[in-house]
Chain A
Amino acid sequence: EAGVAQSPRYKIIEKRQSVAFWCNPISGHATLYWYQQILGQGPKLLIQFQNNGVVDDSQLPKDRFSAERLKGVDSTLKIQPAKLEDSAVYLCASSRTRSYNEQFFGPGTRLTVL
């Protein structure tokens, strides 16, 4: 079974530019998550999808971050415009359900904002 795929693996941009990250979850996993991990900290949930609907985006900075999950499969996370403090690793995870099943993580995208 293929794991969670993410691209790109690394991205360097200047502040005020825009950037997009892509995630393909494990086949059959209804729930998809985006986490932000700042250096030296544990991951923090940004947004949670159930199929193609948002079920929790309470920690997403909506003035600059947006995310979508078209057709309930792939997902894209966008930042526009980026700030210096957005430098972090962006992790995508998926699970079969929202409750009892393991969450599996992708390799992450390391974003550096200059």
Chain B
Amino acid sequence: KQEVTQIPAALSVPEGENLVLNCSFTDSAIYNLQWFRQDPGKGLTSLLLIQSSQREQTSGRLNASLDKSSGRSTLYIAASQPGDSATYLCAPRRAGGTSYGKLTFGQGTILTVHP
């Protein structure tokens, strides 16, 4: 059974800092891993999808890395802004078995960027 842990649980930083959010997972049999953000009372917005064969994926100020064999992914946010304040969730996607394709979520990192 896949277990996903995100560290830290919460982070409060001043604007402009570079941030690192960590995600670890126990089952390396995955197709890919998605990073999402969730604003209060809203659905999930997909930020990055990184395939199991990739090491990194970039979109604007966001960069995600994946080390499938060690069960780790990291989301880097450069030059943080108050608009980045949200909960960030990582979710590896299961490969194999009857429930393949399923995303398993961590509890998220609550990020607050203050001006």
Give which listed residue, A45, A58, A100, A105, contacts B32 with CB less than 8 A.
A100
* Interface check A91, CB cutoff 8 A: yes
* Number of chain B residues close to chain A: CB under 8 A: 28
B85 CB → nearest A CB, Å? 17
Q: Interface 1/0s, chain A 24-50, versus B by CB < 8 A?
A: 000000010100000011111100100
A58 contacts which chain B residues (CB < 8 A)?
98-99
* Interface check B95, CB cutoff 8 A: yes
* Contact flag A102-B103 (CB < 8 Å), given A91-B43, A91-B44: no
- Is A100 in contact with B31, judged by CB distance below 8 angstroms? yes
Report B's interface with A, CB cutoff 8 A: 4, 31-32, 34, 36, 41-46, 49, 51, 89, 91, 93, 95, 98-108
